[in-house]
Chains A and B, each alone.
Chain A
Amino acid sequence: LAKTTQPISMDSYEGQEVNITCSHNNIATNDYITWYQQFPSQGPRFIIQGYKTKVTNEVASLFIPADRKSSTLSLPRVSLSDTAVYYCLVGDPGTYKYIFGTGTRLKVLA
């Protein structure tokens, strides 16, 4: 099973760029990397997905090195409303089960 490792928590200030790195050493060739955001008492919400190199959308960027054993979610100019838990997932190649790691609890301070 493709497992992920992330920092447990991070603090940042409003307006700063936040980078959260996820390690996934046994990612499979066909796996994609997907990041989710979760607020308390809500289901996770999709942020961004990528396979390699760099992906950017209107809310975040995702950097994936050539070996794909890690990925970095970049949130530009965070605001208080970005305080949440961020999870990275990689798809399980054999069973399509998606295992959540611990996630990173981001706290944005004023």
Chain B
Amino acid sequence: GAVVSQHPSWVICKSGTSVKIECRSLDFQATTMFWYRQFPKQSLMLMATSNEGSKATYEQGVEKDKFLINHASLTLSTLTVTSAHPEDSSFYICSASVLAGKNTGELFFGEGSRLTVL
């Protein structure tokens, strides 16, 4: 199956700093990527939809200036958590739709990135 890779898998940072998480589709082109966050023992919450070459679409309640998403190429999307605070500590997961534009529901997920803000 298609492979999606995230980096870093875990990161610890100080409060007030910014952290960038990369999401790459290794063997396919992803027109659309999705970013989720997940708190312990909870489900994945969709944060934003990232389309190559255009601005991301954010879900209600997600601050676009806080969570900067860039999808500059068909194989790379980045999520930058700006001025991170302890409440931003979470597990961030990206996914990509191989058949973008067709509603098959098939998504491939990255391994996730655990962010801890001190």
Contacts and interface: CB of A to CB of B under 8 A. Distances in A.
B43 A100 contact: yes
Interface in B58-117: 91, 93, 95, 97, 100-101, 103-112, 114
A45 B107 contact: no
Contact of B44 (A34, A44, A90, A95): A44
A26 to B, nearest CB: 14
A41 B91 contact: yes
B103 A42 contact: no
Given A41-B91, A96-B100, A101 B105 contact: no
B109 A44 contact: yes
B106 A31 contact: no
Interface string A33-65: 110100001111110010000000000000000
A50 to B, nearest CB: 10
Given A43-B112, A96-B97, A31 B105 contact: yes
Given A91-B104, A96-B103, 6 more contacts: A44-B44, A49-B105, A49-B106, A95-B49, A97-B46, A100-B36
Interface of B: 1, 4, 6, 32, 34, 36, 43-46, 49, 57, 91, 93, 95, 97, 100-101, 103-112, 114
